[in-house]
Copies of this chain bind each other. A is one copy, B any other.
Amino acid sequence: MPMVEQPLRSRVSAANDEGCDFPIQNLPFGVFSDGQGPRCGVAIGDMIVDLAECEARGLLEAGGTFRAPQLNDFIALGRAAWDRVRARLTELLAEGADEDVPLVPMDKATLHMPIRVTEFTDFYASKNHAFNVGVLFRGPENALPPQWTHMPIGYNGRASSVVVSGTDIRRPMGQVKAENGPEWTACRRLDLELELGAIVGADSAMGQRVSVEEAEQMIFGYVLLNDWSARDIQAWEYQPLGPFQSKALGTTISPWIVTQAALEPFRSEGAARVNDLLPYLREERPGFYDMTVGWTMNGQKMGETNYNVMYYSSAQQLAHHTESGCPMRVGDLLGSGTISGPTQDQTGALLEMTQGGKSPVKVNGADRTFIEDGDRIGLYGFAQGDGYRIGFGPCTGKILPAD
């Protein structure tokens, strides 16, 4: 029997261009609309596969879930369905395949939130970031909290303010520390956070502790995630119960969910461990990816690093999330925490890059410490394969003035 080779090229020619984020090896899921209402699709090159129409034509089968304006119902079908649909799309979109596949040009479509976010949790898993920010908030002695190398520290964020790439973000008002008590002001230290977001794809029951291996099986895929942060509001509010309104102004995610399956070839070790982890957090296989992530401001490249600088994987974070018996649900979004490498040009937040606003950076010739009105922040991320790359597409947001 002859070896069947994995098809490497797509019938959609733009998918074969070097540097295209959406080759046939990727097949990320999203929600789009054109003339008709929002429904589920998959990106391929410069096109979107209309999955609802595919199912209507009998090209694939997903219980009608692709007609929904979010992917939660499809994701809830489980891993076997994810794998089956991915395999079928790989057939349908391969070079030489000739079944008629309904495609919509991406530039004619509007992209929507890919999921209804059930709950949003944000972690703090880059050691460089945790140390750098800790120095700025608490000084070098207390920079890294004592439990940091023992557990993935996280907090519950606000799901209602998660928005899709392209949504403008309003500069928030808030309380800020001033000389005589607090002042009510527009945020003066508005920042981004470069993160990856993991989408939980299966429920766990209340009281059920999920192992790291099980947790990995529960993850459907990943988005880019910008956790906009009001640093001056944060500094005044965050003790002792953590960040609240400083992180509720908006969280931007990419419209395309890159599946775990697409990232599998890029599996990588993470940062070196300082100490052994407790057994419930130990990972048999490394749960990180060799994946470039970075951000731009008004089109200029700013910080760039690799996701594999992280100290805790999404699977470890998800396992920890259930340690108390907390139930997880399809559509839960877990932010990785800001991804920062050790050097200034590898930082994923202006707070770190400018050392708390003390060292401005040049952006298109102008000095910047924090984000100004009208600034546009873009995130990017891709895993580089042999002749193709698995990318996320854009994840951008522009800041509107406070009102």
Instruction: Give the B-binding residues of A (Cβ under 8 A).
Output: 118-119, 124, 134, 137-138, 145-147, 150-151, 153-161, 163, 170, 172-175, 177, 181-182, 184, 206-207, 209, 230, 233, 236-246, 248-250, 275, 278-280, 320-321, 323-329, 403
Given contacts A119-B160, A155-B244, A241-B242, 13 further A-B contacts (CB under 8 A): A146-B177, A150-B181, A151-B237, A156-B244, A160-B327, A160-B328, A172-B325, A184-B278, A206-B250, A245-B321, A245-B324, A249-B324, A249-B326
Contact status A320-B240, CB under 8 Å: no
How many Å lie between the Cα of A170 and that of B172 in the bound state? Answer: 40
- A275 surroundings in chain B (CB, below 8 A): 181
Interface contact A151-B182, CB-CB below 8 Å: yes
Could you list 29 A-B pairs, sorted by A, with CB under 8 Å?
A: A118-B160, A119-B159, A134-B240, A147-B177, A150-B182, A151-B182, A154-B241, A155-B155, A155-B241, A155-B244, A156-B156, A160-B206, A170-B206, A170-B325, A172-B324, A172-B325, A173-B209, A173-B325, A174-B324, A175-B323, A206-B250, A207-B403, A238-B240, A238-B242, A241-B243, A245-B320, A245-B323, A245-B324, A250-B325
The CA-CA distance from A239 to B151 in the complex, in Å, is 12
Say whether B119 contacts A325, CB under 8 Å.
Answer: no
How far is it, in angstroms, between the C-alpha of A151 and the C-alpha of B184 when the chains are bound?
A: 11
SS class of chain A's interface: helix, strand, loop or mixed?
loop
Tell me the bound Cα distance from A153 to B174 in angstroms. Answer: 13
Contact, CB under 8 Å: A324 / B154: no
Complex Cα gap A56–B138 (Å): 62
The reply to whether B237 and A239 form a contact with Cβ atoms under 8 Å apart is: no
User: Measured between alpha carbons, how far is A403 from B245 in the docked complex, in Å?
Assistant: 37
Which chain B positions have C-beta within 8 A of A182? Answer: 147, 150-151, 278
Q: How far is the CB of A368 from chain B (nearest CB, A)?
A: 22
**A-B complex: 5 closest residue pairs judged by Cβ atoms:** A242-B242, A248-B326, A156-B156, A172-B324, A155-B241
Q: In the assembly, what is the distance between CA of A147 and CA of B181, in Å?
A: 8
A244→B119 CA distance, assembly (Å): 13
CB pair A172–B240 under 8 Å, yes or no, is: no
Q: Is the CB of B147 within 8 A of A236?
A: yes
Contacts of A244 in B (CB 8 A): 153-156
Query: CB-CB < 8 A to A137: which residues of B?
Result: 240
Q: Please name all residues of chain B whose beta carbon is closer than 8 Å to the beta carbon of A233 when the two chains form the complex.
A: 324
* A324 in contact with B156 given A175-B147, A206-B163, A238-B240 (CB within 8 Å): no
Known: A147-B182, A156-B155, A156-B157. A173 touches B324 (CB 8 A): yes
Asked if residues A326 and B119 are in contact (CB atoms below 8 Å), the reply is no
A145 to B175, CA, bound (A): 14
CB neighbours (8 Å) of A118 from chain B are 160
> Quick one: which of A233, A239, A243 has the most chain B CB within 10 A?
A239
Chain B residues positioned under 8 Å from A145 (CB to CB): 239-240
Q: Which residue of B lies closest to A156 (CB)?
A: B156
A244 to B138, CA, bound (A): 21
Q: List chain B residues, Cβ under 8 A from A163.
A: 206
